Structure 1
Amino acid sequence: MIRRLIFPLLIGVLGCAALLVLGLWQVQRLAWKQGILSQIESRMAADPVPLDTIPDPDPEADRYRPVTVTGRLTGEEAPVLTSDGGAGYRVIAVLETGARRVLVDLGFVPLDAKDSPRTGTVSIAGTLHWPQEADGWTPDPSDDNIWFARDVPRMAEALGTEPVLVVARQVAPDVGTRVLPVNTAAIPNDHLHYAITWFMLALLWAAMSLYLGYRALRAGPKE
């Protein structure tokens, strides 16, 4: 009888152990991600500082830092194809502040507003950001100047600016865009869902192993 239970017992213990380890790992990842999100939210809630007081913004140390900047929109843009309640573009524009040229994300415009003029002096309150949207599968910009990801280094090279992007929360005066501020909602945090999935699979595995053991006991010795 004991011999018939060895296999289902072994399979049950090993399988449940592996699934529980995966579930606990996701719980640890959940705590780590919540800490990261808390740090980001705390940084974004800080008082904004003038961009000119940060001569060389760092993509790690200064990511999510609130800033203010005033300058002249030159009309040079890199529109990024996107969808936000409908097809359109995120307008990445060049802002000249005197000695500096930086990129500003002015927000969303519908498809038919891609080539509308956005020039003149503006004051922007926003957040420093280096989005990690581009990868090896991202297409090159089209011949008619349509981009498919906010690739700050490449956009800066194409438009002759510093590799610095200010994502606007407010633009004054209005330039006809709908701002899309940085927030943590865009940062995935599915670890709780994954943890629950692994724990449910462990429970299911245990139930199946018990049933297999029961069947082995009921089978009895072979004639």
Structure 2
Amino acid sequence: MTPSEQRPVPWQRLILPSFLALPVLALLLGLGTWQLQRLAWKNGLLAELAAAQARGPVEATANPAPFAHITATGRFRPGAEAMLGLEVRGPVLGGSLVTVLDRPGQPPLLVERGWAPLEGGDQIQRPGGDVTVSGYARYADRRSLFAAKDDPANRRFYSFDPRALAAALGAPDAPPYALTVVVPGAAPLPSGLGSAPAPQRGPVPDAAHGFPSPGNPHLGYAVTWFGLALAWIAIFLLWARRRIRDA
């Protein structure tokens, strides 16, 4: 056999690298496809939430959907209050006031009533009779690695953990979420870089000025994964061309 007959065909040198590159390509395409599926799911969820909020609130149950429009009737438990987070309004430092709503014949419910100053508790309105509150169901936040440590003994919390809040307020049987009160028809407060809420001039607590909604970044994630897949193909083709040329 002559040396030319023993020399492998150039494309044969790509067989093994191709078997190594294909799983990476399949993984990138699979992640992109999964994000498209998540996008469809999130769009459906957002549509359901918008429809539910437009229909009006329903009675708070043990496990409503996150951000669902709910309502509850009962009495605020005297003294069962905690402060959540920190927010400056004008020169005043405050946070979100969370209290316990005792409901007849039902478990107590955590209610996030809105912003209130840390000092000057005499400004806070505390209705003594039956009240009806409405807003959205807020579940636990994902705790950040850089979040300040909660102080249950002094009822100061920096991450929203309904179970820890309920235990500190003497309501361990409360469901694992809070009803965040929303001001009906209020214009949203300014947000974003370079903006801050105006100094508080109305009654406190100042309830939320609108319904939030879950983020929907899945289209961007899908574009990223598919873009990486295209880049992987381009890199492999350039490498393969050079390898064949050198052969």
SS in structure 2 opposite 1:120? coil
Paired residue for 2:236, among 209, 213, 218? Answer: 209
C-alpha change, 1:148 and 1:194, in structure 2 (3 Å) is same
Higher RCO structure, 1 or 2 (CA under 8 Å, sep 6+): 1
The residue number in structure 2 matching 1:104 is: 111
Distance in 1 separating the partners of 2:104 and 2:20: 70
Matched, 1:199 2:207: no
Deviations 1:110-159 (A, max 9, x none): 44456754323475542352512266978442543211233333333332
Measure how far apart 1:206 and its partner are: 0.5
Measure how far apart 1:31 and its partner are: 0.9
SS in structure 2 opposite 1:90? strand
Unaligned runs of 5+ in 1: none
Paired residue for 1:152, among 149, 157, 162? Answer: 162
The residue number in structure 1 matching 2:204 is: 176
Unaligned runs of 5+ in 2: 1-9, 185-201
SS in structure 2 opposite 1:170? coil
The residue number in structure 1 matching 2:139 is: 131
Distance in 1 separating the partners of 2:119 and 2:221: 41
C-alpha change, 1:128 and 1:201, in structure 2 (3 Å) is closer
Identity %: 27
Count of residue pairs the alignment pairs up: 212
Matched, 1:166 2:179: yes
C-alpha change, 1:198 and 1:189, in structure 2 (3 Å) is same
- Residue correspondence of structure 1 range 65-80 to structure 2 within 5 A: 65-67=69-71, 69=73, 71=75, 74-80=78-84
State the TM-score, normalized to the length of structure 1: 0.74
Distance in 2 separating the partners of 1:88 and 1:64: 26
Matched, 1:93 2:104: no
Alignment RMSD (CA, Å): 3.5
